Structure 1
Amino acid sequence: MPGTVGRVPTPAGPVPGARAPGTAGVGGPDEWHGTRLGPRESWDVAVRAAVEIVLASPAPMALHLGDELLLIYNDAYAELIGDRHPRAVGQPAAEVFAEVWQTSGVGDVVEHTYRTGEPYLERQVALPLGPAGELDQAVYLRACSAVRDSRGDICGVLSVVAETSPATRQLQELSEFAAALSGTLTLDDVARVALRYALTAFDADRVTFTVDDGGSTGGWRMVRRIRGELVDEADERLPPLWRRGPADWAAPAVRSAGSGRASYTDDGQPLRDVAADRHDEKIRALAAVPLRASAVRGALTVGYRSAHAWSAPERALLSASAELVGQAAERARRFETQHGTAQLLQRSMLPENLPGLPRLRIAARYDPGVDGNAAGGDFYDAFVLPTGELGVVLGDVAGHDVQAAARMGQVRAALRALALNDPRPDHVLAGLDHLVSSLGAEAGTYELFATVVFGVIDVDRERVTLASAGHPAPLIRRCSSAGEPRAEYLQVPAGAPLGVGYRPATSTVAFPPGDTLLLFSDGVVERRRQGLSHGLARLAESVAAAHSGDPRALCAAATAAVPGATEDDVAVLAVEYALRPSRSARMEVPAEPTAPSRVRHWLTAQLTEWRVAESVIGAAVLCTSELTTNALLHAGTAARVEIDLSPERLLVSVADSGSRGTVTRARTDTLSSRGRGLGLIEELSDAWGTDPTVRGSTVWFEILTPPE
C-alpha cells in the first residue's frame, strides 16, 4: 500500500527560504531538512537509492513521494519546469501544478500509478510544464513507474520525461515557417521571416539571407541577424539593412548561391576573409545552403561561435528551409517587378514637381490600392495659367489596369491643354467630356468614364472657382484668427461623370489667406461595410484637428483619416493660401559617409540666420540627421534636403532618388535607425510622414514654431 517517504514522518511544512536540493543548484545532502521531506538520513534505504539515481541522470526525472506526492527532481527536470523551480522542491505536485493537475493525462496518471503500481508509458505528449501551465511545443515520451521501499510497499512514483526525436518539433516549426513565408510580398518581408526562423529553429549565433541584386551588375546583397541583437516591434517593421557586394564576392553564401552546392564547416574560420565585424570573426562553424530557385540566386547561412558537427537531420532541415525561402523569394521578386513597373508607369504620368508660388503652398500624395500590382486611374495636377492664376485638378479614370493608366495620362494632358487655352472650369470639363466620349467610342465600350474636379485659384481676388464631374466635393479648411480651425465641404454641383453626359456648372467660393483647399479621390473616404457619410465625417474631423494648414501635413492626415484598408487608389491634392510668404532653402546631399554631418552644419547655420528658436533648431537638426542617414542607407544615392519656414511652422523634407523598379510602399514606418529614428521623429515633431515620388521617396516632418 502507498505510504509516506520510506515510512518516515515528514515535517508539517517547508522551512521558509530553504534552498532546493540537488547536485547543481538542486540541492545537497545537508539541505533536505529544509523541505517537507525532512533530513535524508531519515529516509528508507531504497528511497535514498532512487533519489541518487534521479540526481545522477542526465534525462529529466522526478520522484513523487508519499501520499502528497512530494517532488524531488534533477537539474534537467528543473529546466523543464522553468520558474516553478526551486519552489517546487519538496512540495506536493498538486500544488506545484495546480492549474493543470486535474487535467486529463496529467495528475491522474501519476496518482493511478501510485495507487495501483501499474506502470504507464506515453510516447507522444505535449506536457504543461512551462509557465502558467502552457503546453510546451516540444513532444515528449513520458513514463511513470512505482517506487517501493525496502519492505516492498509503494512509497512514490518515478516519472521520466524524455524529449522524443526533435523531428516532430522541427516539422511543426517548419510548417509554421512555410505559413509565415506564404504571407510575404517583398524580399524585405522574406528576409525578416527567414532570419527570425533560422535564428530560433537552429539556436544559431549568426544567420544571413543573401540574394542576387537582380540587376545587370551581377552584384549581391545580404542581410544578417545576430543572437542577442535587440530587435523590437518597431524595428521588425523597418526595412532590413542590406549589405551589398560585388559579383565576385568571396562570402561563403555567395559561393554556395553561385555553385548551387551547400558547404559545411565544422570548425575553423569560415568568414576570416570577408568578416564585416567582430561578430563575423567569432564564427567557427558555418553552413551555407543555396536557395535552389530558378529565378533568384541566393543562399541561407547558419553559424555558431563554437565547433559544431552538422548532422544529417540538420542538413536535411537546412535544405528544406532554404527551398521554402527560395520559393518565397521567387514570388517576392515577381511581385516587386510587377509592382515597380506598374507604379513607375503610374507616377511617370503624374507631375514630378508641383509649382512653387510666393503665397500658395502645394502638396500632393498618391497611394496605390491594396493590390499594388496594377496601375490605377487616379491623377492630380497643378499648373500656373497664362492669367497668373493656379489651376488644380484631381480625377479618377475608371479601371485599375495599364489601359486605365494610359487613359489617365491622356485625360490629364488634354485637361491641361484645354485649361491653358480657356481656363474657365466648366468649359474645360465640357471639352474633356467630348474627349472621354470619343475614347469610349473608339474602344467600343460604354464603360469608359472619369470623375474630375477642376478649380482655378485667383490669389488677387481671394477666391476659387470650381467645376465637378461626378467627383466628391472638395474640402476647405478655414482658419480665421478669431476662432478654431474648421473644415467644410464646398457646395459644388457634382453633375455626371465625363463620358456619360456631363452638364457644365461652376461654383465660386472665398479663399482668403490662412485657408487650405483639399481635393481627394473616393479611395480616401470609402471603406467596406461603412457608409460614405461616415468616411466624409472622419475626413473633415481629421483636417480640422490638424496642427496646421500645411498642405503636406493635411495630405498625410487625409490619407489616414478613415481607418481600415481600401482596395482603391488614394490621391490627395492640397493648396494653402499662406498668411505670409515663407522662406525656403535646399541642399544637395552626396552619397558619402560625411553627408549627415554636412547637413547638420548647413541646417544649423541656415536656421540660425533665420532667427529660429534654439529649441526648434535642435529638434530639427536631430531629425534631419536621422532622415538623411536613412536615405543614404536605403536608397544608396544622393539625396536632397529642403526646408521651408513660415510664421507658423518649419517643414523639412529629405528626398532620395532610389530606383522605383523595386517595391515602394507609402508607409510612415520606413526609418532605418533600427527603431531609434522612428521614436525621435514621433517625439520631436508635430507631424511627419513619407511620400512616394516618381523617382524615389520623400520623408518629411513639421515642427510648429513658437510665436515671436
Structure 2
Amino acid sequence: MPGTVGRVPTPSAPVPGAPAGSSATRSGAAAAVLAHPWDSTPLGPPERWDPAVRAVVDLILASPVPMALLYGDDLVLLYNEGYAELIGARHPDALGRPAAEVFADIWHDPGTGQVVERAYRRGESFLEREAVLPVERHLAGTGEPAVFTRGHSPVRDSGGRIIGVLSVAAQTTQLTHQLQSLSDFAAALSGTLTLDDVARVTLRYAINSFDADRVSFAIDEGGNWRLVRRIRGELLDEADERLPPLWRRAPAESPSPVVATARSGIPFYTSDGQPLGETAVDRHDQKIRALATLPLRSSVIRGALAVGYQAPHTWSAAERALLAASAELIGQAAERARRFETQHGTAQLLQRSMLPEQLPDLPRLRIAARYSPGVDGNAAGGDFYDAFLLPTGALGVVLGDVAGHDVQAAARMGQVRAALRALALSDPRPDAVLAGLDRLVASLGTEAGTHELFVTVVFGVVEADREQITLASAGHPAPLIRRCPPDGEPTAEYVEVPPAAPLGLGCRPRTTTVPFPPGDTLLLFSDGVVERRWQDLAAGLDGLRAAVTGASSGDPRALCAVASGAVPGATEDDVAVLAVEHAVRPSRSASMEVPAEPTAPSRVRHWMAAQLTEWQVPEAVVGAAVLCTSELTTNALLHAGTAARVEIDLSAERLLVSVADYGTRGTVTRAQTDTLSSRGRGLGLIEELSDAWGTDPTVRGSTVWFEILIPGE
C-alpha cells in the first residue's frame, strides 16, 4: 500500500519464538515484526503459525523487495524493511493493524483496497505494471512520483484455504525515467548537425540516463577511429559545450572494446572484471569493472557506444534493450551528420572560395568581415563582400546579396563580385560601377531566361586622406556609421543613400558623400543581420543601431561580432558584415606561427610578453593578454589539432589578439595533452578579462579573438 516514507529504525533484540528459518537478531522492520505481540491479532502467536504462513513470513522478511502479508478477514498487515520504507510514517504503527485502517485515506480509491479484497475473497491474482504511488520523492530519485509494478496474490494455508494476500511492489521508476529520457534523447539528436553535436548529446544523455561512471563514443574515420569520452563528475560549463569535444585517435586494429565492437558489429557485456585494463589511458579507465559496448546501427557509418561502471553491474534485459535502442538512435544521427558534414563542407568551401581570403592591410584603415550561413547551413548562398585598393589610392568596399541558396546563386555571386571589381578598377565612381553591374545582371537574366534574378548591393569608396566616404546602393539596406568624436559619446546613424532598384531592374543609382573622420567606423551588412520572421524590420534596424552604439570600441572585428548578434532570434538567411574603421593613429601589429606541439603555449606566452612590453603596453593589460592568448592557443592545438597563427594589433585605444587554426581534425603531438588546458573554462576566463571576444569561421578553420581596451592616461 502507498504511503509516506520515513525509515524508523528499531533497535535489534533477540526475539523468542522467532519463525523457523529466521535470524534471531534482526534490525529495522524485521526486528519490529518479530517483536510484535502477534498473539493479540488474528495471526496468533508465531509458534502456532501454520507452516505455509511461516514460510511466507520468512520469504517476506528475507526479501529486499517491498512485500507485505495481509492476513485474515481484517487483512492485518505484516511486512518487511522494503515495505516499511514504502509506507514511511505509517510504520511501525501499521504492524498488526487492518489495512483498511492503516490506509483509510486511500483504501477506497479505485485500484487500491478493492483489488486486495478481490484477491482475498475470490482468489484472483492482480498485476499492475505501472502504478504511481504517493511515496517520498527520494525513492523515485527525482522530484516526480515513484512508479511501481505491483501485484497481489492469494496466500493459502497447508489445507489450501485462502488465509491472506501477498502484496509485492517493485519500483520501476528508474526504467520509466530512462524511457522518458530516451524520448528526450531522440528529440535532442534530431537537432544535431555535425558529429561533434552528436557526440556532445550522446555523452550527456548516456552519463545521466544510465547513471554511469564512464561513457565513450567511437566513430570511423577512413582507416582509423575517433574516440571521445566523458567521466562522471567531469566539470563542464557552457563554454565547454560550445567547443568541439576532445577527440582521441585510435588505429584501425585498436584492441579497445568500443573499437572492437564498432569493427565487429557485435555487442559486448562485462559484469565484473577489468575490461579496459589493456587500453586504459588513465586511472578513470583502470577503475572500470563493468562495461557494455553497443555497435551503432547504420549502413554507411561504423561506430559504437560504451557505458561503464566502477562497481560490478548486472546488465538486465531491459537495460540491454534500452542500450540497443540508444545505439540505434545514435547511428541514425551519426549517419545524418556524416552526410551533412560532407555536403556542408563542399557548399561552404564553394561559398568561401568566392570571398576574399585576405583583406587589405592599411595603416589608417582597419578592415574586418564576417560571413555566417543561415539556419540550414547546408547550401551555398549568395551573400558576398569585398574590399580592395583602387588606382586612386582609395579603398573600395562592397557588400551584396544574390537571391537564392544554391550553387547557382553562389556562381552568380562570383560573377557579380568579379565584375564589380573590374568595373571599379576602371571607373571607381559608385554610381558608374552599379550602373555597369545593372547591365550585367540584366544580361545574365536574359541568358538564363528568367526575370527573377534578384541582386542587391551597396558600394562605397573610402578616402582616408579626405576623411570622406562616397556611397551608392541598389536596393540594399543603408550602411551604418558609428561616430566616435574625441570629446563625446559614441553614436550610430544610418547613411541616407538615395534609393534605387535592385540590379537588373533598370537601376539608376545616385551617390551620397558623408564625412568619415578618424575614430569613425563604417558598417555594411546584409538583410540577414536585421530581418527576423514575425518581427518588424524597423525593430531589427533599431536593435542593430543600439548594439553598435553601445559597443565597447569601434574595432571592426568587434563590431562585426556585435552586428551579427545584435538582433535576437534565428535567421534563415545568410549573414554578411563588413566593417572599416578610420583609426585615430596607425596601429602596430605582429604575428607568430605556432606549431602543433605541447610546448607551443609556453613559447607564445614568452613571445607575447616580450612584444607587448617592448610596445610599452600597461602591465595589467600585458598580464591579461598573455593569459588569454595562452588559453586560446592551447584550445586551438587541442581541438583543431593543427598549427595556429597568433596575431596582435595594438592601437591607442585597444589591443586586439586573434588565434587562427587551419582545420578541425589534425593530429596533436601526443605528450600529456590532458594537462595542456582547462578547455572551455579558458573561454570563461577570456570573457572575464577581455572587453569583447568572439569566433569567426574561415575557409580552412576558425579564428577566436579578444579585445582589451587600453586605459587612458
**TM class, shorter-chain normalised?**
0.7 to 0.9
Partner residue of 1:361 out of 338, 362, 366: 366
Q: C-alpha deviations, 1:198-218, integer Å up to 9, x for none? A: 33444433221100125xxx2
* 8 Å Cα contact 2:640-2:665 kept in structure 1: no
Which position in structure 1 is the counterpart of 2:598?
593
- Structure 1: where are the runs of 5+ without partners? 1-16, 94-100, 147-153, 662-670
**What is the alpha-carbon distance in structure 2 between the residues aligned to residue 185 and residue 106 of structure 1?**
53
| Higher mean displacement: 131-140 or 296-305 | 131-140
* 8 Å Cα contact 2:152-2:165 kept in structure 1: no
Does 2:685 correspond to 1:680? yes
Which position in structure 1 is the counterpart of 2:220?
212
Which position in structure 1 is the counterpart of 2:63?
57
The 3 A distance-change label for structure 1 pair 429 and 250 is: same
The 3 A distance-change label for structure 1 pair 30 and 204 is: closer
* 8 Å Cα contact 1:289-1:301 kept in structure 2: yes
Which position in structure 2 is the counterpart of 1:703?
708
Partner residue of 1:276 out of 276, 281, 306: 281
**What is the alpha-carbon distance in structure 1 between the residues aligned to residue 190 and residue 566 of structure 2?**
30
**What is the alpha-carbon distance in structure 2 between the residues aligned to residue 606 and residue 70 of structure 1?**
86
* 8 Å Cα contact 1:396-1:521 kept in structure 2: yes
The 3 A distance-change label for structure 1 pair 75 and 612 is: farther
* 8 Å Cα contact 1:339-1:373 kept in structure 2: yes
Q: C-alpha deviations, 1:419-444, integer Å up to 9, x for none? A: 11111111111111111111111111
Q: Cα distance, 1:263 vs. partner?
A: 3.3
Instruction: Read off the aligned partner of 2:66 and give its amino acid letter.
Output: P
Classify the secondary structure of the residue corresponding to 2:132.
Answer: coil
* 8 Å Cα contact 1:547-1:686 kept in structure 2: yes
Does 2:461 correspond to 1:453? no
Which position in structure 1 is the counterpart of 2:137?
131
Instruction: Read off the aligned partner of 1:685 and give its amino acid letter.
Output: S
Which position in structure 1 is the counterpart of 2:190?
182
Does 2:326 correspond to 1:303? no
**What is the alpha-carbon distance in structure 2 between the residues aligned to residue 443 and residue 175 of structure 1?**
48
* 8 Å Cα contact 1:358-1:581 kept in structure 2: yes
Matches within 5 A, 1:523-534: 523-534=528-539
**What is the alpha-carbon distance in structure 2 between the residues aligned to residue 221 and residue 524 of structure 1?**
37
**What is the alpha-carbon distance in structure 1 between the residues aligned to residue 78 and residue 362 of structure 2?**
82
The 3 A distance-change label for structure 1 pair 31 and 23 is: closer
Does 2:149 correspond to 1:140? yes
Q: C-alpha deviations, 1:610-639, integer Å up to 9, x for none? A: 222222222222211111111111111000
Q: C-alpha deviations, 1:112-165, integer Å up to 9, x for none? A: 78999879945122424353995447442254999xxxxxxx9x9986421369
Report the TM-score, using the length of structure 2 for normalisation: 0.82
* 8 Å Cα contact 1:139-1:168 kept in structure 2: no
Matches within 5 A, 1:613-632: 613-632=618-637
Classify the secondary structure of the residue corresponding to 1:292.
Answer: coil
Does 2:336 correspond to 1:331? yes
The 3 A distance-change label for structure 1 pair 255 and 373 is: same
Q: Cα distance, 1:167 vs. partner?
A: 7.3
The 3 A distance-change label for structure 1 pair 61 and 382 is: same
Classify the secondary structure of the residue corresponding to 2:202.
Answer: helix
Partner residue of 1:690 out of 667, 670, 695: 695
Q: C-alpha deviations, 1:353-395, integer Å up to 9, x for none? A: 1111111111111110001111100001111111111111000
Which position in structure 2 is the counterpart of 1:444?
449
The 3 A distance-change label for structure 1 pair 314 and 57 is: closer
Which position in structure 1 is the counterpart of 2:474?
469
* 8 Å Cα contact 1:209-1:301 kept in structure 2: yes
Q: Cα distance, 1:269 vs. partner?
A: 3.1
Classify the secondary structure of the residue corresponding to 1:408.
Answer: helix
| Higher mean displacement: 347-356 or 112-121 | 112-121
Which position in structure 2 is the counterpart of 1:579?
584
Matches within 5 A, 1:242-321: 242-308=247-313, 310=315, 314-321=319-326
**What is the alpha-carbon distance in structure 2 between the residues aligned to residue 290 and residue 346 of structure 1?**
36
Report the TM-score, using the length of structure 1 for normalisation: 0.83
- Structure 2: where are the runs of 5+ without partners? 1-5, 14-24, 47-55, 96-102, 156-162, 667-675
The 3 A distance-change label for structure 1 pair 678 and 121 is: farther
Does 2:508 correspond to 1:483? no
Classify the secondary structure of the residue corresponding to 2:198.
Answer: helix
Which position in structure 1 is the counterpart of 2:381?
376
Partner residue of 1:390 out of 389, 395, 401: 395
Q: C-alpha deviations, 1:438-493, integer Å up to 9, x for none? A: 11111111111210000001111100000100000000011112221111000101
| Higher mean displacement: 489-498 or 222-231 | 222-231
**What is the alpha-carbon distance in structure 2 between the residues aligned to residue 374 and residue 449 of structure 1?**
18
Classify the secondary structure of the residue corresponding to 2:422.
Answer: helix
| Higher mean displacement: 174-183 or 578-587 | 174-183
The 3 A distance-change label for structure 1 pair 236 and 143 is: farther
Which position in structure 2 is the counterpart of 1:633?
638
Classify the secondary structure of the residue corresponding to 1:460.
Answer: coil
Partner residue of 1:417 out of 422, 426, 429: 422
Q: Cα distance, 1:673 vs. partner?
A: 4.1
* 8 Å Cα contact 2:12-2:27 kept in structure 1: no
Classify the secondary structure of the residue corresponding to 1:127.
Answer: strand
Q: Cα distance, 1:181 vs. partner?
A: 2.5
Partner residue of 1:197 out of 181, 185, 205: 205
Q: Cα distance, 1:680 vs. partner?
A: 1.0
Identity %: 70
**What is the alpha-carbon distance in structure 2 between the residues aligned to residue 689 and residue 502 of structure 1?**
38
Does 2:544 correspond to 1:536? no
Instruction: Read off the aligned partner of 1:227 and give its amino acid letter.
Output: R
Q: Cα distance, 1:56 vs. partner?
A: 4.4
**What is the alpha-carbon distance in structure 2 between the residues aligned to residue 165 and residue 538 of structure 1?**
48
* 8 Å Cα contact 2:108-2:114 kept in structure 1: no
Which position in structure 2 is the counterpart of 1:343?
348
**What is the alpha-carbon distance in structure 1 between the residues aligned to residue 557 and residue 209 of structure 2?**
45
Q: Cα distance, 1:605 vs. partner?
A: 1.6
**What is the alpha-carbon distance in structure 2 between the residues aligned to residue 706 and residue 303 of structure 1?**
52
Which position in structure 1 is the counterpart of 2:16?
none
The 3 A distance-change label for structure 1 pair 53 and 495 is: same
The 3 A distance-change label for structure 1 pair 610 and 370 is: same
Q: Cα distance, 1:499 vs. partner?
A: 0.7
Classify the secondary structure of the residue corresponding to 2:275.
Answer: coil
Matches within 5 A, 1:603-618: 603-618=608-623
Q: Cα distance, 1:256 vs. partner?
A: 2.2
Q: C-alpha deviations, 1:257-305, integer Å up to 9, x for none? A: 2233333444443323321111112223333332232211111222333
Instruction: Read off the aligned partner of 2:228 and give its amino acid letter.
Output: V
**What is the alpha-carbon distance in structure 2 between the residues aligned to residue 645 and residue 106 of structure 1?**
80
Which position in structure 2 is the counterpart of 1:223?
228
**What is the alpha-carbon distance in structure 2 between the residues aligned to residue 229 and residue 658 of structure 1?**
27
Classify the secondary structure of the residue corresponding to 1:558.
Answer: helix
Instruction: Read off the aligned partner of 1:190 and give its amino acid letter.
Output: V
Which position in structure 1 is the counterpart of 2:411?
406
Matches within 5 A, 1:645-660: 645-658=650-663
* 8 Å Cα contact 1:523-1:566 kept in structure 2: yes
Q: Cα distance, 1:515 vs. partner?
A: 0.6
* 8 Å Cα contact 2:70-2:165 kept in structure 1: yes
The 3 A distance-change label for structure 1 pair 30 and 135 is: closer
